[in-house]
Chain A
Amino acid sequence: MDETDTQIVDRVLSGETDAFEQLVSRHQRLLYDLSFRLTGDAAEAEDIAQAAFIKMFSNLSSYKKELAFKNWAYTVTLNIARNRLKRKALLRFLPLGIFSPANGEEDSRVQEPMEAGSSPDARLAAKDMRSSLESAIATLPDDLKTAFVLYHLHKNPVKDISEALGISPNAVNIRVFKARERLAKELGPKYLEQFN
């Protein structure tokens, strides 16, 4: 049976520094993905995720075990990301086009539902919608974006997001709701069938 995060934390605190590698391995993908979606920059995202792990290590003795380690990791990462964005005046979001199809590929036709089967057209349509959705997510304000990413992309329950963001579950629901509304409004004209 796999060790729990808390058990690994205990090992690290007892002097097994290298056990921390397991925590990095378990959580780096989520922290990097979140950082990337906030900054839109792969190198910056990597830097933020690394800095978050280093900070977690140095503050490990103050980690409260009643909180899930993952939620604490999110909190630390978000604090670092926000500070960096502010400091570097990068409080802006991914420009449209980062995830978009190559130039000239955009069109305004109504897409087939992506579950419609495995025909090449359907697969192409699903891919196109995915790109559009990622671009639209990137343009959300960061509080809505964070809540949306943690809920819909990382599949966290509202309670965990509430813990990570330090806001009430109701506030999480409102942010996710607003994010969906904005995205539906953005994507609706292009994907009539899905979002209208």
Chain B
Amino acid sequence: MKNIDLEKVFDSACGDIPLQEPRDLWPGVRMGIMRLGEQARPAKSLWAAGLSAAAVLLVLSIPGATESIKNGIKKLFSSAYSVQLGGNAAASGTLISADGELKEIRAGDMLLEVRVTDFDEQRVMIALSVFYTGKQPDGSVKKLISKPKILTMKGKSAEITVTNNQGKPVYKFKMTPTEKDPAAYTGALAPITPVP
């Protein structure tokens, strides 16, 4: 059979196939656009103290993998967090991230990138990047302080030690990830010793 005939056959046959109808995507798109706007907005200087401040306390609380969707292909993490630098008031919010999605938390000159990835049924990978975004002597505005990563058992407490650029332990990050338990993902990043 010639292909030109097949073209007619399929033109006719496909004419009966309706296109899949989505629900109205605009509300979700609009929300995404608004989120883009928030991310693009310059971070406000909530604290005068930079990374060199003597007392820096950062607390991250991620209450659990709350929902497993699409047959385990994608898991959703809802993460309440609070960030505190020096003696200033803590900033807090909720971080919603899909499995493996990189999320940012800004707090003054600090930028924390968190990625929680489901590894298997028993384990989860927590990847953390801590940046200082204040202006550096060399003119740069984003300096990676530490990029720890840990593979940990769900339901077990995990600890990540964050060091400064001299390799000296500065912060300790603790997290207890337990799937489907909203209260189980808790973490704290606190200084071991004050930075001089």
The chain A residues found within 8 Å of chain B, CB to CB, are 17-18, 20-21, 24-25, 28-30, 32-33, 36-37, 41-46, 49-51, 53-54, 57-58, 88, 90, 114-115, 126, 129-130, 133-134, 148, 152-154, 177, 180-181, 183-184, 194-196
Q: In chain B, what residue has the closest Cβ to A25?
A: B26
**A180 with B7: CB separation less than 8 A:** yes
Q: In chain B, what residue has the closest Cβ to A179?
A: B10
The chain B residues found within 8 Å of chain A, CB to CB, are 1, 3, 6-7, 9-14, 16-17, 19-26, 28-30, 32-33, 36, 69-70, 73-74
What chain A residues lie within 8 Å of B25 (beta carbons)?
A: 24, 28, 32, 46, 49-50, 53
| C-alpha spacing A152/B10, complex, angstroms | 7
What chain A residues lie within 8 Å of B20 (beta carbons)?
A: 29, 32-33, 36-37, 42, 45
**A177 with B33: CB separation less than 8 A:** no
**B73 with A90: CB separation less than 8 A:** yes
Q: List 15 A-B contacts (CB under 8 A).
A: A32-B20, A32-B25, A36-B20, A44-B70, A46-B23, A46-B28, A57-B33, A114-B13, A129-B13, A133-B17, A153-B14, A153-B19, A180-B10, A181-B3, A195-B9
How far, in Å, is B94 (CB) from chain A's closest CB? 20
| C-alpha spacing A187/B30, complex, angstroms | 43
| C-alpha spacing A20/B34, complex, angstroms | 13
In the A-B complex, list the 10 residue pairs whose CB atoms are closest, starting with the nearest.
Answer: A32-B22, A54-B32, A152-B14, A33-B19, A53-B29, A33-B20, A180-B6, A36-B20, A50-B28, A28-B25
**B12 with A54: CB separation less than 8 A:** no
The listed residue with most A CB atoms (<10 A of its CB), out of B11, B13, B25, B36, is B25
**B3 with A180: CB separation less than 8 A:** yes
Q: In chain A, what residue has the closest Cβ to B29?
A: A53
Known interface pairs A41-B70, A88-B73. Does A20 touch B17 (Cβ–Cβ under 8 Å)?
Answer: no
